[in-house]
Amino acid sequence: MKVNVISRKLIKPSTPTPQNLKKCQLSFLDEISPPWNVSVILFYPPNPNPKPILIAHFEDSLAKILPQFYPFAGRYNKKDDHKVIDCNDEGAEFVEAEATEVEMMDFIKNSKNDRCFLNNNLLSRQPYYEADKPTDPLLSIQITEFKSCGGLAISIGVSHKIADASSVGTFIAALSDIANTTCNPADDQRSSKIIIPSFDSRMLLPGKINVSKINVSNDYELPKNIVVKRLYFNKEAISSLRSKLSRDQGRFLSRVRLVSAVIAKALIGVDRAKHGKSRSCFIVQSVDMRGRTIPPLPKHSCGNLVLQSITETNNEDKNNIGLHELVRLIGDSIDKTITDCAKLLSIGEDERKDFIIYPMAKSLKRLLSGEISYAMWFSDWSKFGFYEADFGWGKPVWASIGTFPSQNLTLLMSNNEGDGIEAWVHLNQDDMPYFDQDEEIKLFTLL
């Protein structure tokens, strides 16, 4: 698909950032976050209003919301010993583009079926190559019109140094609310829902850690030949899995845990097929801190606020690990992480850093030494309200992602109805044939 850029500009906050907020310190979780953008792409049906009016309204809404999200309009300064965001109001990048030669619904259909980076040409910045340099905008937005039908794709990308997926969801919700309030000022009900973000996590998790002690580096080598497979677990599939497994587990099983276990089992099978034997691995699941600490962090806290739940599978003594056992192992690990999260704010600052960093550092050391053969990562984006994003022209018909340069990474998104899961599995292209042969994966592949 050919995409032509029509214009590229910087949108500055409608009011300047106060002097006392000009420097935004990073938390230590921000510091060790990978140098890429967290991106979401929302697709909207044709709108009867002229596109210039829609674009102007969107730009105006963006300028009005940026004062609340003042770090997003700044730049990342990694020259300082204590890395900061310069909240200098340089602005967010805003790109207007046109897609030719294809209708939006055909593009969506092809995107759902193809294993490639079909969506990245709808991003104003590529997730890895154009992130975290001194001149790179921390927030980048592109509106692409499908010329043949009038549909719109809106991509929103934010640097991982200042935002996780929940933070991106908060920004999109706030931008949506202010856009609708501007369109419908008499709508008091929507006006009462204006979202106020918080950037106080850096005070709870202050930065400046010695990353050399935990073997974490931001000098990433970009993996090559990564392809993406999309799996769809609809309501009926979730219900079937839940009824089959809940009998043995004796507890309610969430969509995310069920889907993660199915994919983890298939990835374990891929590794076994490649190496001729079962090997030990880590299954790493991101767990959101928000609402789980005591006292709870604000729902709209922005930054990187996740703990890593690490499940170890000792597969070397087994020919095959069952789905029931994986669901139990992953669930027990997540439950423990949630329990640990509750006491996070009741301990001292240094102890808090060790509490979060030490398990990650220990696991990474075992992985790098070869004691653990490989790892897989899961991140749940299903609860961040992307399908509620109405900028004045209705809600999206599909929410997609910007792909990531990471092998064995699975991102989980909700479906439009809110009762299913779309899983975006990132694999080396040489591993995909093995993955495709898994009998359970075949059930959830859209052809």
Tokens standing for 387?
């399908």
22 SS3 class: coil
**CATH topology match: 2-211 vs 224-443:** yes
* Per-residue confidence (pLDDT) for residue 41, from 0 to 100: 95
Q: Which residues of 143-157 are buried (b: 16+ CB within 10 A; e: fewer)?
A: bbbbeebebbbbbbb
List CB contacts of 160: < 8 A, sequence separation 6 or more: 33, 34, 35, 36, 37, 38, 131, 304
Distance of CA 333 to the CA centre of its chain: 21
Q: Torsion-angle region of residue 179: left (phi > 0), alpha (psi -120 to 50) or beta?
A: alpha
Q: How far apart are CA 170 and CA 188, in angstroms?
A: 20
Tell me the C-alpha to C-alpha distance, in Å, between residue 299 and each of 179, 303, 421: 21, 12, 22
- pLDDT tens per residue across all 447 residues of the chain: 789 999 999 999 999 999 999 999 888 899 888 888 999 999 999 988 888 899 999 999 999 999 999 999 999 987 656 678 999 999 999 999 999 888 999 888 877 665 554 467 899 887 776 778 889 999 999 999 998 898 999 999 999 999 999 999 999 999 999 998 766 655 544 444 678 899 987 778 877 655 545 554 445 556 678 888 899 999 999 988 888 886 656 567 889 999 999 999 999 999 999 999 889 999 999 999 999 999 998 889 999 999 999 999 876 655 678 888 999 999 999 999 999 999 898 988 888 888 888 888 899 999 999 999 999 999 999 999 999 999 988 999 999 998 887 899 999 999 999 999 999 999 999 999 999 999 888 888 754
- The active-site residue, picked from 60, 354, 390, 436, is 390
275 SS3 class: helix
The dotted CATH code for 224-443 is: 3.30.559.10
Q: What is the pTM of this model?
A: 0.92
CB 40 within 8 A of CB 400: yes
Q: How far apart are CA 173 and CA 57, in angstroms?
A: 16
Which residue matches tokens 């009900």? 189
What Rg do the C-alpha atoms of the chain give, in angstroms?
Answer: 22
Q: Is 426 assigned a catalytic role?
A: no
Domain borders along the chain are 2-211, 224-443
Q: How far apart are CA 304 and CA 160, in angstroms?
A: 8
Q: How far apart are CA 395 and CA 112, in angstroms?
A: 19
Q: How far apart are CA 262 and CA 244, in angstroms?
A: 13
Q: Is 160 assigned a catalytic role?
A: yes
Compute the C-alpha angle 206/211/215, nearest 5°.
140
| Amino acid making up residue 48 | P
Tokens standing for 112?
């759902």
Best CA proximity match to 22, nearest among 60, 75, 82: 75
CB 378 within 8 A of CB 230: no
**Is 2-211 assigned to CATH 3.30.559.10?**
yes
Best CA proximity match to 417, nearest among 170, 259, 232, 242: 232
3-state helix, strand, coil split of the chain in percent (to 5) is 40, 25, 40
* Per-residue confidence (pLDDT) for residue 81, from 0 to 100: 60
β-partners of residue 175 are none
Distance of CA 49 to the CA centre of its chain: 31
Tell me the C-alpha to C-alpha distance, in Å, between residue 377 and each of 53, 127, 208: 42, 18, 26
| Amino acid making up residue 261 | A
Computed over every residue of the chain, the mean pLDDT equals 87
- The active-site residue, picked from 160, 177, 271, 300, is 160
Tell me the C-alpha to C-alpha distance, in Å, between residue 287 and each of 3, 31, 291, 307, 378: 36, 18, 11, 5, 10
CB 429 within 8 A of CB 227: yes
Distance of CA 346 to the CA centre of its chain: 28
Taking the CB of residue 308, how many other CB atoms lie within 10 A of it?
16
